[in-house]
């Protein structure tokens, strides 16, 4: 099966600029996740969608980060304005077709964001 697709693979921007990442989950997967992985750390969940509804966004810095999953398929994550500490790899994952913790998460290759 085709995996989770993410774009772009790399992005370099200056602080205070805005940036957007795109994710296309595995076909039929109801749940979509965005993670932030800072160098030397494990992935940290930013937001979880089930279909097009938000399940958990408790760790999303809502003053600058936003995410949407229109039509319950593709998703975009936006940062506006970016700060130096946002330099990280942004991972998208999906699970399904059902829900529940017994559905393993499948990860994309990630977008490596560098803030100058």
Number of residues that bind other proteins (CB under 8 A): 28
**Considering all CA atoms of the chain, what is the largest pairwise distance in Å, rounded to the nearest integer?**
41
Query: Taken in order 69, 100, 5, 39, is the CA torsion positive or negative?
Result: positive
**75/105 with CB nearer other proteins:** 105
Residue span binding other proteins (CB under 8 A) among the ranges 10-18, 64-72, 73-81, 90-98:
90-98
Tell me if 41 contacts other proteins by CB under 8 A.
yes
Going by DSSP bridges, is the β-strand pair 10-13/44-50 parallel, antiparallel, or unpaired?
unpaired
Tell me if 53 contacts other proteins by CB under 8 A.
no
- 45, 52, 61, 64: which one contacts other proteins (CB under 8 A)? 45
Among candidate residues 86, 54, 89, 82, the one with its CA nearest the CA of residue 68:
54
Among candidate residues 49, 41, 21, 22, the one with its CA nearest the CA of residue 105:
49
**61/81 with CB nearer other proteins:** 61
Please report, as ranges, the residues that interact with other proteins according to CB under 8 A.
Answer: 3-4, 31, 33, 40-45, 48, 55-56, 91, 93, 95, 99-110
């Amino acid at each position: 099966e085709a995996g989770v697709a993410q774009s772009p693979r790399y992005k370099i921007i200056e602080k205070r600029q805005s940036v957007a990442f795109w994710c296309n989950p595995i076909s039929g997967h109801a749940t979509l996740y965005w993670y932030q992985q800072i160098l030397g750390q494990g992935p940290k969940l930013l937001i979880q969608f089930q279909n097009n509804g938000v399940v958990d966004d408790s760790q999303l810095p809502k003053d600058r980060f936003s995410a949407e999953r229109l039509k319950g398929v593709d998703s975009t994550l936006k940062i506006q304005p970016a700060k130096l500490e946002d330099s990280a790899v942004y991972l998208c994952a999906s699970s399904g077709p059902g829900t529940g913790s017994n559905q393993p998460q499948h990860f994309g290759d990630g977008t490596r964001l560098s803030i100058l």
